[in-house]
Amino acid sequence: MTKSIYCSGFGAIYSEGIFSKLTEKHWDDTQNDPESIRRDQVIDSPMPTFGKLNLPDKLAYCVSALALAGNQDCGGDRSGICIAVPYGSLTTDMFFMESVLCGLPGPAYFSATLPSSTIADIAINNKFKGPDRIFSGGDTPVSDSIQASFNLIQADKADTVLFLSVWAIDLKNRTRLSDAGLVPNSAFGALFSSRQSSVSSLKCSLDIRNNASLSDTRSEYDFCIRLTDALRKGNRAVIPFSHDTPENYFEIT
Amino acid sequence: MQKEIILRNPELICASGNAGQTCTALYNGISAVVPGPSFGAAVPHAPFHDTTLRSLDNITKALNFMPPADQSSLLFIYACAKGDLSALESYYHGNKDSHLEDALLETQAKRLPSLLGIKPKKTVVISSACASGAVAVDFAREQLMTGAFSDVVIFGYDVLCEFVVKGFNCLNALSSEPAKPFDKSRNGLTLGDGAAAAHLTLDIPKNGDIIICGCGTSNDANHRTGPSRTGEGLLRAIQSALTDSRLTPSDIGAVKCHGTATNYNDAMEAKALYSCFGDNIPPAISLKGAIGHMSGAGSLVEIILASSFLKKGLLPPTIGYTELGVDEPVKISGSVQEIDKKPMLCLAAGFGGQNAAVIIREQL
Amino acid sequence: MEKLIEELKDKLITSLKLSDVTPADIDPDAPLIGGGLGLDSIDTLEILVILQKDYGVTVPDVNAGKKVFGSVRTLAQYITDNKVSE
């Protein structure tokens, strides 16, 4: 039997600002990029380990805090994380290589040079002990990640899944890459569950008719923005994953 | 008869060679671990015989993987921890013509299908640290069971390089001697080169086919790199795999451990196994003292080797092991062990708290 | 010694990228690892890098490092005892 799936929280950190079910903040004049996000913009209490987070991990952590805000009854064995992180840990890999060249390889950098490191602090601090899926590239990692979130719940491997998508390359490192095609630093997240935890939880569904991939990272970024807009409004909406594949869509029902 | 997830045409290359060569070496107690230095670190390692295989072009040729005949509904999964870092290293060593984008798994995944001789409908990259291969098998199983695809090819690749060796070294994780899984004097990892490719499909099994019965994954939620001390995360992955397979602990005939030979991993794994099996832990093996720790690709390489052990009904000795160094009665041995033709449990764990359990059986 | 303690506090905050922490917040005698600063075993390894890079001091046996990493004060004491004099 197919379970109903609800979205009980969401988060978005991108050029337009910082958004969640409960808050909407705009960037300060001093902030020219989501890279500069501060702890106090997403988390109320002091967090000494915040500064240690490398950019992909920091954006993932912040957006997870936004998506989890106001949701008390998640965490534990039946809570998992599905993340799309197309750029992997490349930005941290670059800092690690610099430290190698200096003759003193940095342990803190190395421990963050895996796409799975990006969710480590989220899992630890929120006790998300269930199954994870980490999509570090591929044709449609965002779509894969949302599908995986739904599949894990339908297959009864989890009751709650935190979906995240993160694009993160430090500004300092962007100059070394061909900046032309790079997606801006950003992170998006949503908390999916088989339980309707509050009246404001939105019932959702996925329809994927066309398994072939006709998407690219830029259109997946656009999808995340459109999804955020729809979740902010909270009304019924059909959000295709890309304009080329309207038969694949996320729906707020 | 019921359809099952079947493992077809698996190929691997590690420090001991291909699957056949590796099994022969393992059953004869021959280790592929050689003294260092390894990329400047004074540690032993398990490199490919031919280090020019450390390139996607060369390894895919050497693997000799037979692609599925019908590729009309094919999913390709690239499963690795770090994959090919050569472009990153080359750039930082002064070759400004190197493209850093080539270090992205995404970029490598785009090139791989044609190198492997496949035309998938879709490509996915799964990177769950050292559990990548096993998690990819779990994901593949889901995709096949739901009918999203009728065939899956998984390719794993993780090799020794300056980045990886110096990285683990600065975490103090590498042993100055060849790794000794579960041994009293174990004190760290030995890294190795590894690559593997396998085809999974949902079909009616023939006798001798290796079937993926079920899988389970979990997160320790304990520490960025260290496993939970109680092993409860790995235990839950094992229990999830048993549930997925509709099996109980007494149905398991052997265990292919993760067994990295670090103090914490082996202690944790022993606790998880004891919590699951009690005093009746089945015969168990770790391969990492023989062929090294091959990161994400390793968990796929080791599942393929486990399937060979199962077909033979024999577990090779755990090379590097002499005396039990964990509190629980894990049946690790320095000699060959006979195993029943029952399902086999394969374990993997990785940074970020990743745990994965895959149960395989032979169609008899 | 007090000067070194204050210097170490600054270095810990900068090198370990501690946020929401000022030197005044760090009790020089409180446990470094597992205490309120949220430092873990990876930070221990980072501190080893600081010791080597900034003070030319190594800790031969990491496990014996419990004495070294006991607190900021024990860290300062270890540096004072082992620093190669110029």
Interface contact B170-C42, CB threshold 8 A: no
In this model, does residue B83 exceed pLDDT 70? yes
Q: Which residues of A touch C43 (CB under 8 A)?
A: 108
**What are the sequence ranges of the domains in chain A?**
5-198
Give the pLDDT of residue A24: 95
DSSP state, residue B17: B
CA dihedral (A44, A47, A51, A57) in degrees, to 10, reads -80
Give the pLDDT band (50/70/90) at residue B104: very high
In this model, does residue B167 exceed pLDDT 80? yes
Question: Which tops the pLDDT comparison, C35 or A75?
Answer: A75
In this model, does residue B201 exceed pLDDT 90? yes
Minimum-distance CB partner of B233 among A101, A129, A217: A129
Binding-site residues on chain C for chain B (CB distance < 8 A):
40-42, 45, 49, 62
Interface contact A52-C17, CB threshold 8 A: yes
Minimum-distance CB partner of C20 among A48, A106, A108: A48
In this model, does residue C36 exceed pLDDT 80? no
**B interface test, pick of C16, C42, C47, C58 with most B CB neighbours within 10 Å:** C42
All partners of chain A with 3 or more CB pairs under 8 angstroms:
B, C
Give the pLDDT of residue B328: 97
Give the pLDDT of residue A119: 92
**A interface test, pick of C11, C25, C42, C54 with most A CB neighbours within 10 Å:** C42
Interface of B with A in 43-82 (CB under 8 A): 73, 75, 78, 81-82
Minimum-distance CB partner of B224 among C42, C49, C62: C42
Minimum-distance CB partner of B148 among A110, A139, A211: A211
Interface contact C45-A50, CB threshold 8 A: no
Q: How far is A213 from chain C (nearest CA, A)?
A: 40
Interface of C with A in 32-51 (CB under 8 A): 36-38, 42-43, 45-46, 49
* Positions in chain A whose pLDDT score sits under 70: 1, 179, 213-215
Q: Which residues of B touch C49 (CB under 8 A)?
A: 170
How many other C-beta atoms are found inside a 10 Å radius of the C-beta of residue B18? 14
pTM of the model as a whole: 0.95
Q: How far is B21 from chain A (nearest CA, A)?
A: 31
Lowest mean pLDDT among B67-76, B290-299, C28-37: C28-37
Lowest mean pLDDT among A229-238, B291-300, C31-40: C31-40
CATH architecture of B1-364: 3-Layer(aba) Sandwich (3.40)
Q: How far is C2 from chain A (nearest CA, A)?
A: 24
Interface contact B171-C45, CB threshold 8 A: yes
Minimum-distance CB partner of B109 among A107, A133, A138: A138
Interface contact A111-B225, CB threshold 8 A: yes
Minimum-distance CB partner of C38 among A48, A108, A111: A48
Please give the share of chain C, as a percent, with pLDDT higher than 70: 90
Lowest mean pLDDT among B122-136, B273-287, B338-352, C48-62: C48-62
Q: Which residues of C touch A106 (CB under 8 A)?
A: 46, 49
Q: How far is C60 from chain B (nearest CA, A)?
A: 12
Least CA distance to B170: which residue of chain A? A107
Please give the share of chain B, as a percent, with pLDDT higher than 70: 100
Q: Which residues of C touch B226 (CB under 8 A)?
A: 41
Interface contact C52-A104, CB threshold 8 A: yes
Which H or E run contains B143?
helix B132-145
Using DSSP bridges, classify how beta strands B4-14 and B210-219 pair: parallel, antiparallel or unpaired: antiparallel
In this model, does residue B233 exceed pLDDT 60? yes
All partners of chain C with 3 or more CB pairs under 8 angstroms:
A, B
Exposure string for B36-71, b = 16+ CB within 10 A, e = fewer = bebbebebbbbbbeeeebbebebbbebbebebbeeb
Lowest mean pLDDT among B238-242, B360-364, C30-34: C30-34
- Averaged confidence pLDDT in chain B: 96
Q: How far, in Å, CA of B337 to CA of B307, rounded?
A: 15
Q: Which residues of C touch A48 (CB under 8 A)?
A: 18-21, 36-38
Interface contact A39-C20, CB threshold 8 A: yes
C19 Cβ under 8 Å from any chain A Cβ: yes
List Cβ neighbours of B120 (8 Å cut-off, separation of 6 or more). B71, B74, B75, B76, B113, B153
Q: How far is A252 from chain C (nearest CA, A)?
A: 38
**What are the sequence ranges of the domains in chain C?**
2-82
B95 Cβ under 8 Å from any chain A Cβ: no
User: Concatenated DSSP letters for B33-72?
Assistant: -B---BTTB---BB--SSGGG-SHHHHHHHHT----S--T
**What are the sequence ranges of the domains in chain B?**
1-364
* Nearest of B260, B106, B292, B286 to residue B194 by alpha carbon: B292
A44 Cβ under 8 Å from any chain C Cβ: no
Give the pLDDT of residue B14: 98
Minimum-distance CB partner of A107 among C19, C38, C46: C46
pLDDT, tens digit (0-9, with 9 covering 90-100), for B307-355: 999 999 999 999 999 999 999 999 999 999 999 999 999 999 988 889 9
Give the pLDDT of residue B84: 97
- B41 φ, ψ to 5°? -100, 135
Give the pLDDT of residue B189: 96
- B232 φ, ψ to 5°? -70, -30
User: Concatenated DSSP letters for A48-108?
Assistant: TTGGG--HHHHHHHHHHHHHHTT--S--BTTEEEEEE-TTTTHHHHHHHHHHHHTT---HH
Q: Which residues of A touch C49 (CB under 8 A)?
A: 104, 106-107
pLDDT, tens digit (0-9, with 9 covering 90-100), for C48-86: 888 888 999 888 766 666 678 888 999 899 889 887 654
Least CA distance to A52: which residue of chain C? C17
DSSP state, residue B189: B
CA A148 to each of CA A134, A192, B124, B204, B340: distance values in angstroms, whole numbers, following the listed order? 10, 11, 12, 26, 35
Q: How far, in Å, CA of A134 to CA of A221, rounded?
A: 17
* CATH placement of domain A5-198: 3.40.47.10
Interface contact A39-C18, CB threshold 8 A: no
CB pairs under 8 A between B and C: 13
Where are any strands of DSSP class E within chain B? 4-14, 74-79, 122-126, 151-158, 194-203, 210-219, 254-256, 283-285, 314-315, 331-332, 337-338, 344-350, 354-362
Give the pLDDT of residue B96: 81
Where are any strands of DSSP class E within chain C? none
Q: Which residues of B touch A135 (CB under 8 A)?
A: 124-127
Give the domain C2-82 fold: 1.10.1200
